[in-house]
């Protein structure tokens, strides 16, 4: 009888110990949530944590203080649609057909990390701008590649006329209210800011003095005013990010959420967005991962968008599809790796950005950042990088350069192109460029001194050129196999169609 009692007590003790162990392990084995906060047209320097004197981003600064700030992060493309597609698919834009250009379709056979997360039981959603512009339905999809759309809530009062009416944070609340208890989720907060158009209101002398004008823009009132409008829209993004973080805290989910803040491409100024230079593809990147023992880390090693796709699935404990070409950052985030290799190469590229040339032709570029250097290959140097100079409107020829978004800055360049001071900046933005450009972006952050033909840089230029071309060939880039004209055949489904005279005319 005593033996039976002892065995029963032992069994009960063992069972209770096992239950206690499971209870202790449960928080650690809970699948992490994923939050992506992505701005639209935002260069890397423009957060207050990065040191910008005229941009105020307290919530971005907060997650940087609690996580990792990557100071050399590169978007997949200097244009929104192919850049977002590269992030979603984990592949370089030249690997994903029509999804790799602007305003076309997103074929369903290109699997996204969202597809993988949803299939594994994640609730998936987005607000604001997901993937686009383009037509995902024409690609055979049943919803936007970024997830299920949540855009019903709108602001009662917009801060400025140029800001979207979408109430991003309230749409996140709706998403969270629908979520089942304990259900892991992924959410894409796609701010439509700081994309043009802007308020363009008057500014005081004190306000104008605070703006910091990059070296490829004229230092004029128009440039400074545009930069301040841009900064206001970044602050609007940051305000909604703060509300989203507050909801995560209230739900007890903040520390169980991988938070990635970034931008799809650089700022919408001439010679930035739609260009292969740093202000077109170098974007902010901050990752908060509460499991890390490190806080406020600054990471110098280059990171590409394809690395983020792999990181998301790795964090969720899921198998990374073979077609994903990036490298997960989880070893770094978990403290198993102290730093990324500064000499690792990351890539970007573009084809068509808008209806900017005769017969909707693009401006193919491939870019590689490695170490201190940025390499740019302009595969069709006979074309105008900012778009054809003239378009046909009502039978008349008028100014075009449509790869530069309309703004007070663009209008100033066009109106004052013959001015002795403005002319230099006009030509920097629109003139044809050599096939190869090579810049030391540490010494030359505005990419103004091309080293491709400088004898002292010949060896390092040749080394980088070989690395790029080998990678492009390995990843099936049709531009290096002589079949690149397929890019001209992908239909432009979304956006305006403009008309241009034949180039030889």
In this predicted model, what pLDDT tens digit does every residue of 444-490 receive, in sequence order? 999 999 999 999 999 999 999 999 999 999 999 999 999 999 999 99
| Residue 29: predicted pLDDT | 72
| Residue 20: predicted pLDDT | 41
| Residue 293: predicted pLDDT | 85
31-344 adopts what CATH topology?
Answer: Alkaline Phosphatase, subunit A (3.40.720)
| Residue 495: predicted pLDDT | 87
**E strands of 200-345, at which residues?**
257-263, 282-283, 285-288, 297-299, 303-304
Counting as low any pLDDT under 50, the low residues of the chain are 1-28
Give the residue from 389, 468, 400 showing the smallest Cα distance to 432.
389
**Would you call 430 exposed, middle or buried from its count of C-beta atoms within 10 A (0-12, 13-18, 19+)?**
buried
Give DSSP secondary structure letters for 107-127.
Answer: -TTS--HHHHHHHTT-EEEEE
Question: Position of tokens 């037509």?
Answer: 135
| Residue 26: predicted pLDDT | 41
Distance CA 95, CA 101 (A): 11
**Would you call 91 exposed, middle or buried from its count of C-beta atoms within 10 A (0-12, 13-18, 19+)?**
buried
| Residue 503: predicted pLDDT | 85
Distance CA 497, CA 499 (A): 7
**Contact 144/132 with Cβ under 8 angstroms?**
yes
Handedness of CA 41, 269, 70, 346 (dihedral sign): positive
| Residue 10: predicted pLDDT | 37
Q: Nearest 5 degrees, angle CA 101-CA 75-CA 58?
A: 130
**Would you call 107 exposed, middle or buried from its count of C-beta atoms within 10 A (0-12, 13-18, 19+)?**
middle
Distance CA 384, CA 357 (A): 8
| Residue 3: predicted pLDDT | 39
Give the residue from 458, 445, 484 showing the smallest Cα distance to 366.
484
| Residue 14: predicted pLDDT | 41
Handedness of CA 24, 25, 26, 28 (dihedral sign): positive
Residue 329 tokens, joined: 């950052």
Give the residue from 221, 224, 305 showing the smallest Cα distance to 265.
305
In this predicted model, what pLDDT tens digit does every residue of 383-411 receive, in sequence order? 999 999 999 999 999 999 999 999 999 99
Residue 35 tokens, joined: 């939050």
């Amino acid at each position: 009888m005593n033996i039976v009692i002892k065995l029963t007590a032992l069994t009960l003790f063992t069972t209770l110990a096992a239950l206690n162990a499971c209870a202790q392990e449960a928080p650690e084995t809970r699948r992490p949530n994923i939050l992506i906060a992505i701005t639209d047209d935002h260069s890397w320097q423009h957060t207050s944590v990065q040191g910008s004197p005229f941009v105020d981003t307290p919530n971005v600064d907060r997650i940087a203080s609690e996580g990792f700030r990557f100071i050399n992060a590169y978007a997949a493309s200097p244009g929104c649609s192919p850049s977002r597609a590269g992030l979603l698919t984990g592949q370089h834009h030249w690997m994903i057909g029509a999804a790799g250009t602007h305003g076309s379709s997103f074929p369903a056979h290109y699997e996204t990390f969202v597809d993988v997360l949803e299939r594994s039981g994640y609730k998936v959603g987005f607000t604001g701008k997901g993937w686009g512009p383009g037509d995902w339905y024409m690609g055979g999809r049943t919803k936007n590649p970024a997830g299920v759309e949540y855009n019903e809530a709108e602001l009662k009062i917009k801060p400025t006329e140029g800001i979207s009416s979408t109430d991003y944070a309230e749409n996140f609340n709706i998403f969270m209210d629908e979520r089942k208890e304990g259900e892991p989720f992924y959410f894409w907060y796609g701010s439509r800011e700081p994309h043009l158009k802007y308020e363009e209101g008057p500014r005081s002398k004190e306000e104008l003095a605070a703006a910091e004008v990059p070296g490829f823009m004229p230092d004029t009132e128009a440039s400074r005013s545009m930069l301040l409008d841009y900064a206001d829209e970044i602050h609007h993004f940051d305000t909604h990010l703060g509300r989203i973080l507050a909801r995560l805290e209230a739900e007890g989910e903040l520390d169980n959420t991988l938070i990635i803040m970034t931008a799809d491409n650089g700022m919408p100024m001439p010679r930035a967005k739609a260009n292969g230079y740093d202000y077109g593809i170098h974007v902010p990147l901050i990752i908060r991962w509460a499991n890390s023992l490190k806080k406020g880390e600054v990471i110098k090693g280059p990171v590409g968008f394809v690395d983020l796709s792999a990181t998301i699935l790795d964090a969720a404990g899921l198998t990374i599809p073979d077609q994903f070409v990036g490298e997960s950052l989880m070893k770094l985030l978990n403290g198993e790796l102290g730093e990324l290799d500064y000499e690792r190469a990351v890539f970007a590229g573009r084809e068509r950005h808008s209806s900017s040339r005769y017969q909707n032709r693009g401006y193919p570029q491939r870019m590689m950042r490695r170490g201190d250097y940025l390499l740019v290959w302009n595969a069709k140097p006979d074309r105008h990088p900012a778009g054809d100079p003239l378009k046909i409107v009502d039978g008349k020829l008028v100014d075009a350069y449509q790869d530069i978004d309309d703004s007070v800055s663009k209008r100033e360049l066009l109106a004052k192109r013959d001015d002795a001071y403005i002319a230099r900046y006009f030509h920097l933005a629109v003139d044809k460029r050599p096939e190869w450009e090579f810049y030391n972006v540490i010494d030359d952050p505005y990419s103004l001194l091309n080293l491709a033909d400088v004898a002292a840089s010949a060896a390092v230029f040749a080394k980088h050129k070989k690395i790029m071309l080998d990678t492009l060939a390995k990843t099936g880039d049709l531009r290096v196999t002589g079949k690149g004209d397929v890019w001209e055949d992908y239909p432009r489904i979304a956006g305006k169609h403009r008309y241009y005279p034949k180039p030889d005319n």
